[in-house]
Amino acid sequence: MKIVIIGSGYVGLVAGACFAETGNEVVCVDNNEAKIERLRKGIMPIYEPGLDVLVKTNLAAGRLSFTQDLSEAVRDADAAFIAVGTPPRATDGHADMKYVYAVARSLAEKATGDLVVVNKSTVPVGTGDEVERILRAAGRDIRFSVVSNPEFLREGVAINDFMRPDRIVIGSEDEWAREIISRIYDAGAFEGVPILQTSRRSAELLKYAANAFLAMKITFINEIADLCEAVGGDVRDVAHGIGLDSRIGEKFLNAGPGYGGSCFPKDTLAISKTARDYRVQLRTVETVIQVNEHRKRAMALRVVDACNGNVRGKTIAVLGLAFKADTDDMRDSPAIPVIQALQDFGAIVRAYDPEAMDNARAILGNVEYVNDPYDVANGADAVVVLTEWSAFRDLNLQKLRSRVRLPLLVDLRNIYDEEAVTEAGFEYWCIGRKNTG
Ligand code: NAD
């Protein structure tokens, strides 16, 4: 099959490389010229484990190419996947569909033959209808069919998630389009993966519902962590105990500083806004958004508490900036509000992250960035863990202790064993467990 992917970001690039790997002819399009130039040379615009090798192999095999020119890319294509961003609109928080609709207008103009247009971006219910309207409004003598095929990959393990997903959702009422998409996913690589055929609207909604549920799960365990601290429990034991119930499941029960990233914050907001437009109130989701929002600044207050109620003029060493491990993605990372709050309270913040510092610099200008996880702690009044990178789990805590001015370790990701931390001479502040501070 000949596939065009429009938008070569975290989703589009992974999808393009994986579809090429499974034997399709794939052209990835992006309107960012510098990105395309670099991709042609095999230079990745993002950090995603394994992606560079997959891209280079498929470039060399001639199955994958990159261009800015949609007209050239879409020529004789069987399907065009839209994988551009759908960020919250600054004015009102609704998902901003301007990038998706711009692509739809370009496709309407540039398609050369019958084309299945696939929405891989996360889009509000009804977007497929609007994309179809835009395509038809061009009055071309071309058969267009719009499918919703939401993506569930997680950054950091995106290739595995794409190749071995829990399910593939194909939202379409059109036999022809279903057939094309089924053929794209038919290669041996996807064998055994459940394929769920739904209406387009159900597929659109399903993606948001999945993310809202996961955000709710995280928020729930975060509140249980607060209760554990109040009553003297250990949230790790509680999470394990409830997770063994197969109706609940063990995943996504790690208490922490609140969810962030490029999906959960915007998708919970978007589904609650969509619901209101249909005169339905998703009270659970609205509460989750509110609780999560408050939590991030509360985490900064925890650092203040650890520092005897005052961080003015103190140096806080931050380990981890990305919204989670194994990505360089800083979008809506909890590290941003936590660091900003600490700065509001007068702290001097120094930070280290294995991959996200370049992206962080663009958001948090007044932070001192350091290229080593031990150097960041030099003379610090407290060390704060904000991302659960496995490299941080493996740090030599004695060595870290030898660098700080005051031995305070605030672990907002619960990655350390209390005994190891206290043995190294730190006072330990963590989440949903006994603090030794
Ligand atoms: P991204 O910002 O990393 O990538 C979007 C890309 O689209 C950018 O490179 C941008 O330059 C390009 N672009 C924008 N307008 C364009 C146009 N008119 N023509 C060509 N290229 C254009 O975004 P992302 O993280 O890949 O997310 C894309 C969509 O997938 C979003 O709707 C998101 O919610 C959804 N999604 C993301 C993830 C994730 O983990 N990142 C997971 C599942 C679903």
Strand partners, 67: 29
Residue pLDDT tens, the chain, 437 long? 999 999 999 999 999 999 999 999 999 999 999 999 999 999 999 999 999 999 999 999 999 999 999 999 999 999 999 999 999 999 998 999 999 999 999 999 999 999 999 999 999 999 999 999 999 999 999 999 999 999 999 999 999 999 999 999 999 999 999 999 999 998 678 989 999 999 999 999 999 999 999 999 999 999 999 999 999 999 999 999 999 999 999 999 999 999 999 999 999 999 999 999 999 999 999 999 999 999 999 999 999 999 999 999 999 999 999 999 999 999 999 999 999 999 999 999 999 999 999 999 999 989 999 999 999 999 999 999 999 999 999 999 999 999 999 999 999 999 999 999 999 999 999 999 988 76
**Rounded Cα gap, residues 250 and 253, in angstroms:** 6
Domain check: are 224 and 290 in the same one?
yes
Dihedral of CA atoms 57, 60, 63, 68 in degrees, nearest 10, equals: 100
Query: How far away, in angstroms, is 142 Cα from ligand 1 center?
Result: 27
C-alpha 428/C-alpha 411 separation (Å) is 7
Contact 291, 265 (CB under 8 A): no
The residue nearest atom 1 of ligand 1, judged by CA position, is: 9
**31 close to 136: Cβ distance less than 8 angstroms:** no
Interface ipTM above 0.95: yes
Do 222 and 176 fall within a single domain? no
What pTM was computed for the model?
0.96
Q: Are residues 411 and 317 in the same domain?
A: yes
Domain that holds residue 73: 2-198
Ligand 1 contacts CB of residue 4 (under 6 A): no
Other CB atoms closer than 10 Å to residue 114's CB: what's the count?
13
Is 192 in the same domain as 206? no
Q: Kindly state whether residues 349 and 362 are assigned to the same domain.
A: yes
List the one residue out of 129, 136, 135 whose CA is nearest residue 107: 135
Q: Which residues pair with 116 in a beta bridge?
A: 79, 145
Structure tokens at 278: 């249909």
Same domain, 316 and 435: yes
Is residue 400 domain-shared with residue 305, that is, in the same domain?
yes
Q: Provide the sign of the torsion angle of the four alpha carbons 391, 396, 397, 403, taken in this order.
A: negative
CB 360 within 8 A of CB 353: yes
Question: Among 10, 271, 359, which is best to mutate for testing ligand 1, by the most ligand atoms less than 8 A from CB?
Answer: 10
User: Phi and psi at residue 435, in whole multiples of 5°?
Assistant: -90, 145
Q: Name the helix (H) or strand (E) containing 428.
A: strand 427-429
